[in-house]
Structure 1
Amino acid sequence: MKQYVVYTRVSTEEQGKSGLGLEAQERDIDVFLTSFSEEPFEVLERFQDVLSGGTDDRPQLAKALKRVRSTGAELLVSKLDRLSRKVSFIATLMDDKAVKLRVASMPFADKFQLHIYAALAEQERTFISERTKAALKAAKANGKRLGGLRDKTMKRNEAIQAKAHAEAEKVMKVIGPLRQAGATLASIASTLNETGIPTSRGGSWTPTQVSRVLERVAQ
């Protein structure tokens, strides 16, 4: 019988009390168990932390990992960032031969694919942070608020284009090597979908969308 130890995490005490964020995690886990798990299965125990994803010292996760190591069960989380937002932490965990990890939202992803996803997510957070700092610095130097509907529209369009380019650069970390290795657009799209990397709108990849990313980066 397949055995799981479920781990969930929310970022603040308020979320823990109100259940915000937990419902979505439990839904993803239930979908995985119902549609993707081997049969029969058993959930041995559930653990939950109410702490930031940037904090590695999480008592409930430690207990969950201890249970996993002692039973041989798989650690089941809804998304990879529920474990940590740090690639180093996730990589160390995946190197532990006594820990089997399963991510509900990416049911077929192997360790290599999970590592790529974690690295891309960390790069995106770093970019967003730097972009925010740059925007605040520019606004402060400008010393005035943007005025008029046209200015707001132009700024919004520029932000959309910047976001699209940043997302293209991010996913190129995966597309680029595959393309250089001779992979077709269709096979690259299939790999991205299997890895669980969504498009900019949260959908599935098609060969046309892969081609657009290559064109955007080339420009």
Structure 2
Amino acid sequence: MKQYVVYKRVSTAAQGRSGLGVEAQQRDIDLFLSNFSDAPYEVIGDFIDVQSGNDDERPELSKAIDLAKKAGAELLVSKLDRLSRRVSYIAALMEEKKLVLRVASMPTADSFQLHIYAALAEQERNFISLRTKAALAEAKARGQALGGMRDKTMRRNEVVRENAERRARSIAGIIVPLREVGTSLRKIAAELNSAGVQTAQGGVWSATQVQRTLLRIARS
């Protein structure tokens, strides 16, 4: 019988209490088990950490890995970034001979494909960080003569707005067609969360945020 050890991670205590992040990950895992897993199967462990993906010292992840190795089970996560945001850490795990990694949202991906995806995702995060720093520097340059705490707040708000508008344009091709065929705002938010698409501030989507994004797209 195929055996799995499930691991989930949320970044904040608020996400953990609300269940939003956990529920989205569990949906991905359930879809994988129902549609792609060998049958019969058994989930022999379920572990959750409330920590940043940049922190590789996570007690529940260590327990999940130990159990998977001991039982010869596959370590199942919803998305690769739930395991870690560091490609070096993911690569090290995939090199462990006694550990088999399975990603629910990429059910047919092999180790090589997962490694490539992790590397590309890390590059994207690094680029976003550089872009944000550049936008802050530009905003600071535009407001140099003003000075003061109020102007710092204005510059910060301007950067947030620019990032939100840039983010809105980048996902217009996803949410606009859904809205045009009558999909509810709440359903669109659920689809974005399930697919692992984050808001401009790196959080989860709500119906209100989808509506604001659609308005930004309309104004652009």
TM value normalised by structure 2: 0.66
Letter in 1 for 2:11: S
Query: 2:35 aligned with 1:35, yes or no?
Result: yes
For 1:138, the equivalent position in structure 2 comes to: 138
Structure 2 SS opposite 1:25 = helix
For 2:63, the equivalent position in structure 1 comes to: 63
Query: 2:107 aligned with 1:84, yes or no?
Result: no
CA distance in 1, matches of 2:31, 2:94: 23
For 2:74, the equivalent position in structure 1 comes to: 74
CA distance in 1, matches of 2:53, 2:32: 22
Structure 2 SS opposite 1:21 = helix
Residue 132 of structure 1: how far off its partner (Å) = 0.5
For 1:19, the equivalent position in structure 2 comes to: 19
For 2:46, the equivalent position in structure 1 comes to: 46
Query: Taking structure 1 as reference, are residues 31 and 163 closer, same or farther at Cα in structure 2, changes over 3 Å only?
Result: closer
Structure 1 SS opposite 2:132 = helix
Question: Any gaps of 5 or more consecutive residues in structure 1?
Answer: 146-154, 165-195, 199-219
Letter in 2 for 1:100: V
CA distance in 2, matches of 1:62, 1:22: 18
For 1:97, the equivalent position in structure 2 comes to: 97
Letter in 2 for 1:62: S
For 2:216, the equivalent position in structure 1 comes to: none
CA distance in 2, matches of 1:7, 1:60: 8
Letter in 1 for 2:116: I
Residue 18 of structure 1: how far off its partner (Å) = 1.4
For 1:174, the equivalent position in structure 2 comes to: none
Aligned residues with identical type, % of pairs: 65
CA distance in 2, matches of 1:163, 1:14: 27
For 1:207, the equivalent position in structure 2 comes to: none
Query: 2:139 aligned with 1:126, yes or no?
Result: no
TM value normalised by structure 1: 0.66
Structure 2 SS opposite 1:52 = coil
Residue by residue over 1:43-79, the C-alpha shift from the partner in whole angstroms, topping out at 9 and shown as x without a partner, is 0010000000000100000000000110000000000
Residue by residue over 1:147-175, the C-alpha shift from the partner in whole angstroms, topping out at 9 and shown as x without a partner, is xxxxxxxx89x957x969xxxxxxxxxxx
Query: 2:128 aligned with 1:115, yes or no?
Result: no
CA distance in 2, matches of 1:74, 1:133: 39
Residue 123 of structure 1: how far off its partner (Å) = 0.2
Residue 17 of structure 1: how far off its partner (Å) = 1.3
Please, what is the CA RMSD of the aligned residues?
2.3
Residue by residue over 1:158-199, the C-alpha shift from the partner in whole angstroms, topping out at 9 and shown as x without a partner, is 957x969xxxxxxxxxxxxxxxxxxxxxxxxxxxxxxx9x9x
Residue by residue over 1:62-109, the C-alpha shift from the partner in whole angstroms, topping out at 9 and shown as x without a partner, is 000000110000000000000000000000000001100000000000
Letter in 2 for 1:57: E
Residue 20 of structure 1: how far off its partner (Å) = 2.0
Question: Any gaps of 5 or more consecutive residues in structure 2?
Answer: 152-161, 172-194, 198-220
